[in-house]
Amino acid sequence: MSRAEFIGKRVAVIGLGVSGVAMCEAAVAVGATPVAFDEKPSDVQRVMAAADRLQAQGIEVVTGWHGELEGDFDWVLVSPGLPPGHPVMAVWAGKIMGEIEFAYRISHAPILAITGTNGKSTTTVMLYKCLQDFGAVLCGNIAGSGYPEHVLTEAALKTPADGVLVAEISSAQLETVIDWCPRVATITNITEDHQDRYGSFEKYKNAKLNMFRNMGYGQFIVLNLDEESVDRGWVSSGGFVGFCPEGGSGEKAQSRRTDDALWFSGEEVKFVDLPFIGEMNFANAMTAWEMACAYVGEPDMGMLRRLLEFRPLENRMEPLGSKDGVQVVNNSMCTNPMAVVKSCESLPQKLHLLMGGNTKEGDYSSLQKYLHIAGHKVYLYGEDSGYLNSLLGGGYPEYSDLRSAFVDAVSAAEFGEVVLLAPGCASSGPYANFKERGSAFKQIAKEWLEDEEIRKS
């Protein structure tokens, strides 16, 4: 693709979040004339700050937008937060371009892309670490990782051709794919999520599968062949690598797993020497390694050295410490039922699970069955704990807040057990997002770990 296609074009940019602001600024840089729109009024602090920033660059901004576009636009660039059923999507069909499509078209650097319901953020950072010596830029939908993150469009504009964009991609970003074609891509898994946006699992799945839609000769698709939600049939042409974190040989794989170690292109690393915990992270690391090898062409042991420098992401299976043999782990990013299952299965210990939040109209029947069999203790917190209890079959203790649930969990936990924040829900109540929820949990855990007296709220 060429940036020249945007010279002299007039584009509408919908949404004044970080993606929308980045698209406006990039549009100017490639010779287009953007007009920014946001339905929220200008007295909303976030909108005011974005409008001031863009207007200072001479970019026209319309706030309090009524949802209809007037005038002539060559393209309508939509932020991923715009609902798929928004009227502008139908009225301007054929001229709709999403964030990742725009970034792909203006990028001089190749893009390596990761999506999936669970594990995508950790896999993205692991791949970034592997390719840190190859000009990697961490970007996309990733947030709150504790690593240097960049908005995808900004990274696409500024990264030279000899760099590489390592991008986490969401289903919402994939809804508006046209020519999008990453150099190497994976889908970690697809399980039910975001039913409040899609209404059905099939619509959600189809959005994820847009990742591979235009890939063929010269590109590589990497898949975990042991992941039951992944289908080898998704790959119809182009390069393919399949690996088996449960111990098989895979297909053209550069990684394998034995009883007590992972092997990366012939180099053995014992589980005890890995800088991460859990079966889920073994699969994430193997995904990252396979993607890095597919991109570089020949295994480079410098990539392994970088991978072993990895440190757990904030809010993703993040060990916080232990006291009296009881470990505390923060997985605030766990926002759907299957993520709870994956989190639990990655740890061999008996668990004390803290769950609560907005269920997003999800199906919790599989989690209900898993918890019944697994025997972990569950503590439900927040204003919707009663509803969540009903979805899980009932019988679990309910608490008004996270602190109270934590106090009872650490009191009940015995030597060798783990207290795990795995909400299984989006944030709600006092927490605006998973980052706020994780920060609050870390403060609560810190008080307990430092022997401070901790009481219920």
CA distance 154 to 177: 18
Tell me what the pLDDT averaged over the chain comes to. Answer: 94
Q: What is the pLDDT of residues 379-424, one digit of tens each?
A: 999 999 999 999 999 999 999 999 999 999 999 999 999 999 999 9
Whether the pLDDT of residue 453 is over 80: the answer is no
Whether the pLDDT of residue 43 is over 70: the answer is yes
- Give the residue with greater pLDDT, 313 vs 350: 350
Whether the pLDDT of residue 109 is over 80: the answer is yes
Torsion of CA 201, 434, 313, 447, to 10 degrees: -140
Arch. (CATH architecture) of 318-449: Alpha-Beta Complex (3.90)
pLDDT level of residue 346 (50, 70, 90 thresholds)? confident
Query: In the beta sheet, which residues pair with residue 115?
Result: 187
Task: Check residue 1 and give its pLDDT.
Answer: 65
Mean predicted confidence (pLDDT) in 284-296: 98
The alpha carbon dihedral of 73, 75, 81, 86 has a sign of positive
- Write b or e for each residue in 418-435: b if 16 or more Cβ atoms lie within 10 A of its Cβ, otherwise e: bbbbbbbbbbbbebebbb
Fold topology of 100-307: UDP-N-acetylmuramoyl-L-alanine:D-glutamate ligase (3.40.1190)
pLDDT level of residue 72 (50, 70, 90 thresholds)? very high
Whether the pLDDT of residue 454 is over 80: the answer is no
CA distance 112 to 109: 10
Task: Check residue 45 and give its pLDDT.
Answer: 94
Mean predicted confidence (pLDDT) in 314-326: 92
| Residue 4 burial (C-beta neighbours within 10 Å; 0-12, 13-18, 19+) | exposed
Rounded to whole angstroms, what are the CA distances from 112 to 163, 281, 283, 291? 11, 19, 18, 8
CA distance 359 to 384: 9
Q: What is the pLDDT of residues 145-187, one digit of tens each?
A: 889 999 999 999 999 999 999 999 999 999 999 999 999 999 9
CA distance 340 to 118: 10
Q: What is the pLDDT of residues 3-35, one digit of tens each?
A: 999 999 999 999 999 999 999 999 999 999 999
Task: Check residue 360 and give its pLDDT.
Answer: 85
CA distance 172 to 307: 29
Fold topology of 6-94: Rossmann fold (3.40.50)
Note the pTM of the prediction, 2 decimals: 0.85
Q: What is the pLDDT of residues 177-233, one digit of tens each?
A: 999 999 999 999 998 888 889 989 999 999 999 999 999 999 999 999 999 998 888
The answer to whether the CB of 177 falls within 8 A of the CB of 213 is: yes
Whether the pLDDT of residue 457 is over 90: the answer is no
